[in-house]
A and B are shown apart, each in its own frame.
Chain A
Amino acid sequence: MIRITDIYKSYQIGKNTLPVLKGIDFNVDKGEMVSIMGSSGSGKSTLLNIIGILDEADRGTYNLDGIEVKNLNEKIAAKYRNQFLGFIFQSFNLINYKTALDNVALPLYYQGVSRKKREEKALFYLDKVGLSNWAKHVPSELSGGQKQRVAIARALASDPKVLLADEPTGALDTKTSYGVMELLQQINDEGKTVIIVTHEPDIAAMTKRNVELKDGLIISDKIIEPVRATLYV
């Protein structure tokens, strides 16, 4: 699904160049659930953003499900993000003046799906995350856990190949975090590829594979037996 070879990325801060990724090789197959760990500033988000085509590597190759991702113009990039990728952010990033339903329907709007179809699908995914009763509420009326569930529903709405979550539980308490992880495990059980950036070991333990970054390099990569979140909820 994801083939990354020898990727480099550095940021320009004033006159200084800050190397962040220093030659990453990273493959993810379909149906995997991977966690990326590492200390703050190790480049986890940077890697995830490159995978998400929100940012571009300076060097190296990235192949997403057979498609070479390189020098894309914004129009194509937008299309790939829409069709192949679903994003989940630490701070939810819902649009605050839109209802839960309209938030979930937004990726479908950009696909040109008709209004009726859109609402139908959005409602289906809201139901999947257990929030069909909250469809008409705006984000400010929802709890943190509920917001993240809406965000997950939105990420799922366009049926992407890969879900990318950057610290999805970072702003949630433990109990709520496990609820969100339970949902993500369930989605992975259905076959969806999931990549989660986190620095909470208990969250990482609920994925099937742990990757650890340090100073822009992968220092360990191991398959583990995931802890089922259901046990804690």
Chain B
Amino acid sequence: MNSLFHRDLWVEILSSLKSNGARTFVTAFGVFWGIFIMVLLLSAASGFETGIKSKFKGIATNSIFIWTQKTSLEYKGMPRNRWYHFDIQDAQAIKDNIKGLRIVSPQNNFTTEIKHITKEGSFKVEGNAPEFLGQKALKLTQGRFINQKDIDQKRKIAIIGWGLIDELYEKGEDVIGSFIKIKGVNFKVVGVFKDTSINGQKNIRAQQNVHIPFNTFSQVFNFGDRVNYFFITADDDQSATELKNKIITLLQTRHKINPKDKRAIGNFDLNEQFEKFNMLFATLKIVSFFVGIMILISGVIGISNIMLIVIKERTKEIGIRRALGATPMVIKKQIILESVFLTILSGMAGVSFASLILFFVNLKIDSMDPVDLMILNPIINLPTLFTIFIILVFFGLLAGLIPANKAVKMKPINAIRTE
């Protein structure tokens, strides 16, 4: 290894590259271009991923949502088109029977009149569990969310969306500690939230919801033990999609639903959606790499070709060097290193130029509203750079190998005799 970094060797390499300056440059361009395209494509893919994922930020993506619908098949003496409800015991049953779930939170909701002093309007009220905060992209801007005591004591407290403040309050009025009337019942406001999901940012209605404790909702609005929705999040090492069928089967048994009835239990599989995105991004990355490598290969073939021509032109020189005592190893080493050096140099030039362009693209992106963007922060990361470097070294070796072998194949005397 030591000899690889010997100054004399590099003086030799540089002087022979310099002696072919113009051609060295033209040769290097193929690799430069391949890497340039590859870096841009990879960065675009990564930026696209960051952009899309930012829209899922704060949401527990490994989740499914379940709700009740009408049955569509008869079963055990029950008619079709029957309305049924989940109940609060289902939550415990799901937790007990299906391993690998992190949160099972029930929800009931409706839209109703909400009034504060003189101002009023019709808004959505949700009865939620404390864990719900970790499942949705909700950010508390003031106060607190529902806690276990609120549930246990069925406290009449509310957390309101920030979009409600303008609707119900005067300017400068204190929100925390104030009271609102939901369907005529007084609730004390203990928190204000902001929905940071993409839906929340696009849709003002999402910022005007009211959250109250699930148990309070059931009692005050006479829901008994019925539940309309379950928000279920799986453990990080589990897939919600894989557990979905187990959950549905369990609920079917508990509510006498025909196992073949696909319509009775409505569900939305966020995890599956998210996985589809992940697949898309993975595919994009592979395609970028593939396209880049293809261009790179043509660049490398170019380098190999030019090296072959250079070797041919330098046949005599190589013969002279061998007459002076250069072993085939020394000659080969020099040619291969020339090739690797050239490949890395032009590749890194490609990376640098692409980075420069990305820098300006990022400047532009930063000046725009992230909500409207599908691409965020398109950059190339260090592991990818490292991979590119390894690929360059490998291709450089490959490009130098054939010319290097050719260079020493000829007998020294024949090499010297060539003109």
A20-69 contacts to B, CB under 8 A, are 49, 52, 54-55
Q: Which residues from 80 to 103 on chain A have a C-beta closer than 8 Å to any C-beta of chain B?
A: 81-83, 87, 89, 93, 95, 97-98
Counting chain B CB atoms within 10 Å of each CB, the highest count among A79, A89, A95 belongs to A95
Partner among B8, B19, B329 whose Cβ is within 8 Å of the Cβ of A97: B19
Contact of A78 among B8, B15, B316, B325 (CB under 8 A): B325
Contact present for B323 and A81 (CB under 8 Å): yes
Q: Would you call B413 and A106 a contact (CB within 8 A)?
A: no
Interface of A is mostly: helix
* Nearest B-chain residue to A89, judged by Cβ: B416
Cβ–Cβ contact A107 & B329, under 8 A? no
Asked whether B327 is an interface residue with its Cβ less than 8 Å from the other chain, the reply is yes
Taking a contact as CB atoms under 8 Å apart, the answer to whether A55 and B325 are in contact is no
Complex Cα–Cα for A83 and B15 (A) = 25
Q: Is B154 an interface residue (CB 8 A)?
A: no
CB <8 Å contact, A55 and B317 = no
Q: How far is the CB of B5 from chain A (nearest CB, A)?
A: 14
Does B408 lie at the interface of the complex (its beta carbon under 8 Å from any beta carbon of A)? yes
Q: Give the chain B neighbours of A82 by CB distance below 8 A.
A: 324-325
Interface range, B side: 20 to 34
Contacts of A79 in B (CB 8 A): 325, 327
- Residue A75 at the chain B interface, CB threshold 8 Å: yes
Report the interface size class on chain A: 20 to 34
Cβ of A106 and Cβ of B411 under 8 Å apart? Answer: no
**Does A158 sit at the interface, judged by CB under 8 A?**
yes
Q: Is B326 in the interface zone, CB < 8 Å from A?
A: yes
Stretch at the interface among A108-116, A181-189, A204-212, A220-228: A108-116
Are the C-beta atoms of A154 and B327 separated by less than 8 Å? no
A55 touches B324 (CB 8 A): no
A74 adjacent to chain B (CB < 8 Å): yes
Q: Are A55 and B327 in contact (CB under 8 A)?
A: no
Partner of B326, one of A54, A78, A97: A78
In Å, the complex CA distance between A74 and B327 comes to 7
Please pick, from A55, A74, A98, the residue contacting B408 in the complex, using a CB distance under 8 A.
A74
For B8, give its contact among A52, A95, A109 (CB under 8 Å). A109
Q: In the bound complex, how far is the Cα of B39 from the Cα of A124, in angstroms?
A: 53
Task: Give chain B residues whose Cβ lies under 8 Å from the Cβ of A83.
Answer: 325
Contact with A along B1-20 (1 / 0, CB 8 A): 00000011000100110110
Say yes or no: A54 contacts B412, CB within 8 Å.
yes
Are A54 and B321 in touch, CB under 8 angstroms?
no
Q: A54-B411, A93-B320 are in contact. Are A110 and B326 (CB under 8 A)?
A: yes
Q: Take A110-B330, A115-B8 as given contacts and tell me if A154 and B324 are in contact as well, using a CB distance cutoff of 8 Å.
A: yes
Question: Which one of A49, A95, A107, A115 lies within 8 Å of B325 (CB-CB)?
Answer: A107
Determine if A75 and B328 form an interchain contact, defined as CB atoms under 8 angstroms apart.
Answer: yes
Out of A49, A78, A107, which one reaches B413, CB within 8 Å?
A49
Contact of B324 among A49, A97, A107 (CB under 8 A): A107
Q: How many whole Å from B89's CB to the nearest CB in chain A?
A: 85
A-side contacts of B416, CB under 8 Å: 54, 89, 93
Question: Does B285 reach chain A (CB closer than 8 Å)?
Answer: no
Known contacts: A54-B416, A81-B324. The answer to whether A75 contacts B411 by CB under 8 A is no
When distances are taken between beta carbons in the complex, the residues of chain B under 8 Å from A97 are 15-16, 18-19
- Partner of A111 from B325, B328, B329 at Cβ < 8 Å: B325
Question: Could you say which of A52, A74, A109, A115 contacts B323, with CB atoms under 8 Å apart?
Answer: A52
Interface centre among B323, B324, B327, B411 (most CB of A within 10 A): B324
With the chains together, A82 CA to B412 CA distance in Å? Answer: 13
Residues of A within 8 A of B326 (CB): 78, 110
B contact residues around A87 at 8 Å (CB): 323-324
Instruction: Report A163-199 CB contacts with B as 1/0, cut-off 8 Å.
Output: 0000000000000000000000000000000000000
B194 within 8 A of A: no
Q: How far is the CA of A82 from the CA of B320 in the complex (A)?
A: 11
What mask results when residues 393 to 413 of chain B are scored 1 for a CB within 8 Å of chain A, else 0?
000000000000000100111
Most buried by A among B12, B323, B413: B323
Residue pair B328, A74 in contact (C-beta under 8 Å): yes
B322 contacts the other chain (Cβ, under 8 Å)?
yes
Residue pairs across A and B with Cβ atoms less than 8 A apart, 16 shown, are A55-B411, A74-B327, A75-B329, A78-B322, A78-B326, A78-B328, A81-B325, A83-B325, A87-B323, A93-B320, A93-B323, A97-B15, A106-B324, A109-B8, A109-B12, A154-B324
List A residues at the B interface (Cβ < 8 Å). Answer: 49, 52, 54-55, 74-75, 78-79, 81-83, 87, 89, 93, 95, 97-98, 106-107, 109-111, 115, 154, 158
Closest CB pairs A-B (n = 3): A82-B325, A110-B325, A54-B413
**Interface residues of B, Cβ cutoff 8 Å to A:** 7-8, 12, 15-16, 18-19, 316-317, 320-330, 408, 411-413, 416
| New A-B contacts (14) at CB < 8 Å, excluding given A55-B411, A95-B317, A111-B325 | A49-B413, A54-B323, A54-B411, A54-B413, A55-B413, A74-B327, A78-B322, A78-B328, A87-B324, A89-B416, A93-B320, A95-B321, A106-B321, A154-B324
